[in-house]
Amino acid sequence: MNDGRIAALIDDLGDVPFSFEPSLLRRRSRDYFWYSQALAEDLAGKQAEVVVTPRNEADVMRVAAACARRRVALTPRGTGTGNYGQSVPLHGGVLLDMSEMTAIEWVRPGVMRVAPGARMHLVDEALRPGGQEQRLHPSTKRSATVGGFVAGGSGGVGSVTWGGLREPGNVLAARVITLEERPRAIELRGDAAQKINRAYGTTGIITALEMPLAPAWEWIDLAVAFDDFASACAAGLAVALADGVVKKLLTPISWPIPRYFGPFASLCPDGASLLIAMIAKPSLETFKALLGPLARIIHELEFDESPATTPIYEYTWNHTTLQVLKSDRNVSYQQCLFPHDRLLESVAEMAALFGDEVWHHLEFIRFGGRVTASALPVVRFTTRARLFEIVELYERHGVMVANPHVFTLEDGSRHKRADADQLGFKAEVDPYGLLNPGKMRSYAPVRA
């Protein structure tokens, strides 16, 4: 903490809104990192010194200039729905709350341009009358921002059709502001826009995103019960491979996870595994035919994400962990990517290896043009060491892991390093190393 610097910085801000309110500082400095007992420990008490809430790009530039001049750290965040402490300020300074920059700049067929704080569910609400929707969203869609998703996420609902955010064409352009005395706006198009994907705001402050859109089908939420997890996985894979079936979500979930699913708990037969799905209405008949004779549909409802409802996607991706955490705080999770060429074998192998310690559920996705599955298995927590041991065990069995129990880009990456492109770009946009410092640990500031 350096009150002098912060006070000087505030003087530089003019009329840009800010707050020192302690409870706001505390809340805005957190996300859902507490899903990991390791992160809960490592990030405890990390907090910003001031929350600044820009209304537009000019405000962002003003804050960036002030932080550069005063050498104060700046951590941008959306609504803080991440799980790795992406937006937890490790070195105090400014928490830049982007959630007020919510404009939808324009919408064209297949593309939109939005400000980073646009709420994903409100964006879809605005797009739907025009027959379009966002290609991808996290299970936290109803609170997440587009900018937060792109800066902190990798994929989600929709990835079974479109692949993840890293696939060419899933982020079309990004505009970022540099952290310099005279901040510049840089427009990144195409592959260059990937410099900001999952970089946690370390590679510039996003002020606009151009994102591809998908046709807005009439989606049907489904939950299908199977006697065992292997059958749910096999049925899910058959649907994932059926290119004639329009789908948005395919999630096999093993017993006993469904026991924690509130309203579904009573619908799900004891001991059964589920296949959760979002299927376009015209593909529904084909979907059902692919399930096989042993499947029992226990839930089928037109998609609805209005406030009084629970859309089916809120039982999938990392919301699965959350559903269990609601009644049992003694669990955590992992993040895996199974090999596409021996997918079901590998899933069976890992299920056998961990027994009751790990509760399995998969997310079918496309990855590099191939159907495979990622997974966020629920892990019964014993010790921190065991969490890391489990990561190693997955890797030793040929399953890639993006470790969610660490807070740096490098340690959380499947490749255990920062993307070279992102690292190089950071030198250009953040010479003093003030953007979310500590998250990209391999970066050494080029200027003092």
**Cβ 134 to its own copies shortest distance, Å:** 13
Q: Do 117 and 73 meet the contact criterion of CB atoms below 8 Å apart?
A: no
Rounded to a whole number of angstroms, the minimum distance from the CB of residue 73 to its own copies is 34
Work out whether 172 is an interface residue with its own copies (CB under 8 A): yes
Across 242-290, where does the E strand assignment appear?
247-253, 273-280
In a 10 Å sphere around its CB, with 0-12 CB exposed, 13-18 middle and 19+ buried, how is residue 12 labelled? middle
191 is a site residue for its own copies (CB under 8 A): yes
Tokens of 304: 């609805």
294 binds its own copies (CB under 8 A): no
Which residues are paired to 173 by β-bridges? 189, 210
88 binds its own copies (CB under 8 A): no
**Selected range binding its own copies among 6-14, 281-289, 312-320, 411-419, rule: CB under 8 A:** 281-289
Least spacing, CB of residue 440 vs its own copies, in Å: 25
Counting contacts by CB under 8 A, is residue 275 touching its own copies? no
Distance, in Å, from the CA atom of 199 to the CA atom of 439, rounded to the nearest integer, reads: 8
Site for its own copies in 219-248 (CB under 8 A): 240-246
Query: With binding defined as CB under 8 A, does residue 128 bind its own copies?
Result: no
Residues 316-375 that bind its own copies (CB under 8 A): 366, 368-371
Candidates 22-30, 59-67, 104-112, 145-153 — which segment interacts with its own copies by CB under 8 A? 104-112
Choose one: 61-69, 261-269, 278-286, 396-404; the region binding its own copies (CB under 8 A): 278-286
Regarding 392 and contact with its own copies (CB under 8 A), the answer is no
169 lies in the binding site for its own copies (CB under 8 A): yes
Q: Give the integer Cα–Cα distance in Å for 340 and 163.
A: 13
For residue 435, the 8-state DSSP code is: B
Choose between 213 and 322: whose C-beta lies nearer to its own copies.
213
Could you tell me which stretch among 28-36, 66-74, 183-191, 394-402 binds its own copies (CB under 8 A)? Answer: 183-191
Tell me how far apart the alpha carbons of residues 133 and 111 are, in angstroms, rounded to a whole number: 10
* CB 85 to its own copies: min, Å: 28
Q: Which two tokens stand for residue 240?
A: 């994932």
Give the Å distances, CA to CA, from 215 to 109, 210, 218, 442: 9, 17, 10, 40
Residue 77 touching its own copies (CB under 8 A) = no
> How near is the Cβ of 190 to its own copies at its closest, in Å?
5
Give the burial class of 386: count Cβ atoms within 10 A of its Cβ; 0-12 exposed, 13-18 middle, 19 or more buried: middle
Pairing of β 111-114 and β 94-97: unpaired
Amino acid at site 123: V
Q: Which two tokens stand for residue 314?
A: 């809120």
Taking the least distance from each CB to its own copies, the nearer of 172 and 272 is 172
Site for its own copies in 23-42 (CB under 8 A): none
Region from 74-82, 187-195, 196-204, 219-227 binding its own copies, contact rule CB under 8 A: 187-195
Of 46 and 135, which CB lies nearer to its own copies in the complex structure? 135
Q: What is the rounded CA–CA span in Å between residue 179 and residue 181? A: 7
Helix (H, G, I), strand (E, B) or coil at 340: helix
Q: Which is nearer to its own copies, 182 or 281 (CB)?
A: 281
**3-state secondary structure string, 72-115?**
CCEEEECCCCCCCCCCCCCCCCEEEEHHHCCCEEEEECCEEEEC
3-state helix, strand, coil in the chain (%, to 5): 35, 25, 40
Q: Is 292 in the site for its own copies (CB under 8 A)?
A: no
User: Which positions lie near its own copies, rule CB under 8 A?
Assistant: 108-111, 131, 135, 161-163, 167-170, 172, 189-191, 212-213, 215, 217-218, 240-246, 280-283, 285-286, 289-290, 366, 368-371
